[in-house]
Chain A
Amino acid sequence: MSCWDTIQAYALRSIGIGERLLPKSDFTLCQQFTLIGSGLMWNIYFGVLALTFGFFLANAMALAKASKNPWLNRPANWFILVFRGSPLFIQFFLAYFIFLRIKQSGALPWLTSAQAGALIVLMLNTAAYSAEIFYGALRSVPKGEVEAADAYGMTGWSRFIRVIWPTSMRLAWPAYTNEAIFLFHATTLVFFSGFPAWQQRGDALYYANYFADKTFNPFIAYPIVGLYFIALTLAITSIFGLINRRLNRHLPREKRPRLRFRPQYIR
C-alpha cells in the first residue's frame, strides 16, 4: 500500500469516511501521520466551535460581572470561579455524569456524545477564562475615551458598542490569543477523560494512543501529535495576529501592540 493509498483510505477516517478497519500490523510512518492528522480534525472542530460560541458567552459574562446588580454579578462570579478554579479533566468527568442523568430522564439524548457534550464543556470553560480577560479589559478602558464619547453626546448602548467594547477588545486581544491556543491544546482531553469514542473515531491523541499501544513504542506517535500541534499553534497565532492588525489599524505602526504568546490563562 503506497502512502497515497493510505491517505485516501484513512485521511477522513475520524469522521467515518474511508476504510472501516484501522491498520492492524506493519505500521508505517505514513499511516501514523495520516490517521493522527485525521484525528486533528476533531481538535479543530472542538477548538473553533467552542471559541466561537464561547466568545459571545464570555462577553455576556464579563458584562454581568461588571454589573452592579447582584442578580447579575453573583452568578457570573460563581460561574467564573467554578470553571476557572477546577481542572478541565474533572469538569469533563462530572459533565458526562450529569449529561447521562439528563439522557436517562428522557431528554436531550445527544448530550452524551463528545461532539455535543464535550463541546458544551469546552465552551463554558473557555467562556469563563475569556470572561475574566474581557472583564479586566473593560475596567482598563481609558477614561478619556469614555469622556470623549460623552462629549459627542453618545449614551448607553451606542456609547458601549461604538467606543467601550471595541477598545476593550483591543486591550484583551493578546491575552485572548493565548486563551485560544490553550483551548486548542485542551481539546486533546476530550476522548482522554469522560467521553467515549464511537467506532474508533477520535481525535489526534486517540489515534496516537492507538499506535503507541499497537507498536508498544511511545516515542513515535506522541511526537507526531506534538508536531501537528506546533503547526496548529502557529496557524492560530497568525490568524489572531491578522485580526489584531485589523483591530489596531487606526494606530500608527509603532504604537500597535505586538502579539506575544504569553501564558496568562490556561486550564
Chain B
Amino acid sequence: MKKLILSAAALALSAGMALAASHSTIRMGTEGAYPPYNFINDKGEVDGFERELGDELCKRAKLKCTWVTNEWDSIIPNLVSGNYDTIMAGMSITPERDEVIDFTQAYTQPDPSAYMALSDSVDITGGVIAAQTNTIQAGFVAQSGATLVEFATPEETIAAVRNGEADAVLADKSYLAPIAAEDSSLVLLAKEELIGGGVGMGLRESDGELKAKFNAAIQSMKDDGTLNALIAKWLPDSAPF
C-alpha cells in the first residue's frame, strides 16, 4: 500500500523562485521515494532526475514552481482535487491514467522493467515474484503464471528478495540498476519486460494552457540535447531521444 498524503512536506523551493509574485506558484507533486527519478536527499529536499528536469522546465516556461511530496496511492486523486498542479513521479503514461488525467509528451523513453534476484537461475515464470502494490509491474505479474507477492513500498520488495521471501523482484530497470550495482549478491536477469510507456508529466485535463507550456519546454530540451544530458546523468541505462 502506498497511502494518501496531501503533502505537508516542506520541500524546498526551486532556484528561480525569487521572481516577483506576479504569477501564482505551480505546485509540482512527486513521491520522493523512487530514486533516481525522485527521492529525498540527505538534506531532506526533493532530489533526482525529475527535480532537476522539473526546475529546468519551469525556468524555460517562465513559471514559479515549488515541490511537494504525496503518497503514491493518492497522487492522482490529489491532483484532480487541486492540491497540486502537476505530477512528476516516474509515472508511466498508460491508457487508464490518461482517461483521468492528461499527460505531456514523454520525457523518457519507455523504461523496461527488469527482474532482480539472488542468482541467474531463478524461475521467473513459476516462481514467487515481488512487486510494489498498485504498480504496473504488480498487474503484469498477476497476469503471468508466476506467484505475485505484493509489498507496500519498493524498499520492502528488495528486502523480500534479500531474505528469500520472493525469488525475484520486478520493477523499473532504472530503479533496480543502482541497487544491483552496489550489492554483489543481487543480479539483474537478462529477461526484461516492456510494460509501461515513457514517463510523462501528469496534469489536470482542464489545464490545457499549462500542458501546452510544459510540452513546449520539454520539446525545447529535446531539441537542444539538454534532456539527453540529464538522462545520461541520472538514468544511464535508459535510451536517449
So, do A and B actually touch in the complex, CB under 8 Å? yes
List chain A positions with a Cβ less than 8 A from chain B. 21-22, 24-25, 100, 103-104, 112, 191-193, 196-200, 206, 209-210, 212-214, 216-218
Q: Is the pair A210, B134 in contact by a Cβ cutoff of 8 Å?
A: yes
Contact with A along B45-78 (1 / 0, CB 8 A): 0000000000000000000000000000110110
Flag whether B133 is at the interface (Cβ < 8 A): yes
Q: Is the pair A200, B100 in contact by a Cβ cutoff of 8 Å?
A: no
Known: A25-B96, A100-B163, A216-B76. A209 touches B134 (CB 8 A): yes
Provide the residues of chain A in CB contact with B134, threshold 8 Å: 209-210, 213
Bound together, the chains give a CA A198 to CA B160 distance in angstroms of: 13
Provide the residues of chain B in CB contact with A210, threshold 8 Å: 134
Interface size class of B (residues with CB under 8 A): 20 to 34
Bound together, the chains give a CA A214 to CA B133 distance in angstroms of: 12
Known: A21-B142, A209-B133, A213-B134. A196 touches B160 (CB 8 A): yes
Q: Is the pair A197, B149 in contact by a Cβ cutoff of 8 Å?
A: yes
Within B100-142, the residues touching A (CB, 8 Å) are 100, 130, 133-134, 139, 142
Number of A-B contacts (CB under 8 A): 57
- Give 8 CB contacts A-B under 8 Å: A25-B96, A104-B164, A192-B152, A199-B142, A200-B148, A209-B134, A213-B73, A218-B74
Provide the residues of chain B in CB contact with A104, threshold 8 Å: 163-164
CB distance from A197 to the nearest CB of B (A): 5
Bound together, the chains give a CA A213 to CA B150 distance in angstroms of: 14
Bound together, the chains give a CA A193 to CA B151 distance in angstroms of: 9
Known: A199-B148, A209-B133. A192 touches B1 (CB 8 A): yes
List chain B positions with a Cβ less than 8 A from chain A. 1, 4, 73-74, 76-77, 80, 96-97, 100, 130, 133-134, 139, 142-143, 147-152, 156, 160, 163-165
CB distance from A27 to the nearest CB of B (A): 11
CB distance from A25 to the nearest CB of B (A): 7
Bound together, the chains give a CA A21 to CA B144 distance in angstroms of: 10
Give 15 A-B pairs besides A196-B156, A197-B133, A198-B147 with Cβ atoms closer than 8 angstroms: A24-B139, A104-B164, A191-B1, A196-B130, A196-B150, A196-B160, A198-B150, A199-B142, A200-B148, A200-B150, A206-B1, A209-B73, A216-B77, A218-B74, A218-B77
Bound together, the chains give a CA A32 to CA B21 distance in angstroms of: 46
> Whose C-beta in chain B lies nearest to the C-beta of A218?
B77
CB distance from B76 to the nearest CB of A (A): 5
Bound together, the chains give a CA A178 to CA B81 distance in angstroms of: 37
> Whose C-beta in chain A lies nearest to the C-beta of B148?
A199
Q: Is the pair B1, A209 in contact by a Cβ cutoff of 8 Å?
A: yes
Q: Is the pair B163, A214 in contact by a Cβ cutoff of 8 Å?
A: no
Provide the residues of chain A in CB contact with B139, threshold 8 Å: 24
Q: Is the pair A217, B77 in contact by a Cβ cutoff of 8 Å?
A: yes
CB distance from A114 to the nearest CB of B (A): 11
